[in-house]
Structure 1
Amino acid sequence: MAVRPFGELEAAVMEVLWRREGPATVREVLEELNTTRSLAYTTVMTVCSNLVGKGALQREMAGRGWRYSPTRTRAEHSAALLRDVLGAAGDRDEVLMHFVADLDPDAVASLHSAVEAARRAKNA
């Protein structure tokens, strides 16, 4: 299943939920979002509902309302986006070469460590 990038408000809602330790109600998400902008409760409720439909959030009933939580971590979501980009890139090797060529040395070292860790995990 292809993963789509989030729209601006979807990304803001996801950011709030990724930062939290656990699920949140629409009101809790709204309170955090309204520190930097002015949104209506129904707007945030609609965005959360849409994100459930897209598979980005799950919800559970808590009392008379829903509590929302991400279905993936931020890292898992980002990795899925990268997989989709590479899958649609045509020449995967060329895209990876351009990507790595633009990385700073610390990022290259991190990438190398991640590749080695993935290899060890597959061989274990």
Structure 2
Amino acid sequence: MADERRPVGALEAEVLALLQASGEPLTAGEALRRLGGGLSYSTVVTVLSRMRAKGLLGRTKRGRAFAYAPVADSHGLTARRMRRELESDSNRGAVLARFVQDLSSGDEQLLRQLLGSDSELDITDGPSTG
């Protein structure tokens, strides 16, 4: 069906996953070809532009076009979203207190370890809790 629409944010998530998996910046045309059918060039350009405005993507000039790449890996992007949410509330202390209060015991322990570390953190393969 031509009127079938993706859920809100699904196209952004798809484009972000594509850019993260590509390992190199992609132009709108390259992204369009890799995404497959059903999208117009202008839709891809719009999505890339909006994602750049949100701070998710950077861009560099490539010939007459721009090539886009994520500004961080998936963990870094999640951390940026968390920081943006924290910064959107005037009472940061209350937000942080509630956040810590709602953590699982494993996540709380991990956070304590991270905050208590005097050395540089190895975040590439850090422990994860579920």
- Asked if the contact 1:24/1:67 (under 8 Å) is kept, the reply is yes
TM-score between both structures, scaled by the size of structure 2: 0.64
1:84–1:99: structure 2 CA closer, same or farther, 3 Å change rule?
A: farther
1:52–1:95: structure 2 CA closer, same or farther, 3 Å change rule?
A: closer
TM-score between both structures, scaled by the size of structure 1: 0.66
Partners of 1:53 and 1:86 lie apart in 2 by 19
Q: Which amino acid is 1:53 matched to?
A: A
Pick one of 89, 97, 100 that aligns with 1:96: 100
- Asked if the contact 1:26/1:66 (under 8 Å) is kept, the reply is yes
Overall identity of the aligned pairs, in %: 27
- Asked if the contact 1:60/1:66 (under 8 Å) is kept, the reply is yes
Aligned residues: 110
Aligned to 2:55: 55
Hey, which bits of structure 1, 4+ residues long, moved more than 4 A?
107-117
CA RMSD after TM alignment:
2.9
Higher relative contact order (CA 8 A, sep 6+): 1
Q: Which has the higher helix share?
A: 1
- Asked if the contact 2:59/2:68 (under 8 Å) is kept, the reply is yes
Partners of 1:86 and 1:61 lie apart in 2 by 33
1:86 is displaced (CA, Å) by 4.5
Aligned to 1:22: 24
For structure 1, the residue ranges without an aligned partner over 5 or more in a row are 1-5
Aligned to 2:71: 71
Partners of 1:92 and 1:47 lie apart in 2 by 32
- Asked if the contact 1:86/1:95 (under 8 Å) is kept, the reply is no
Q: Which secondary structure does the structure 1 equivalent of 2:69 belong to?
A: strand
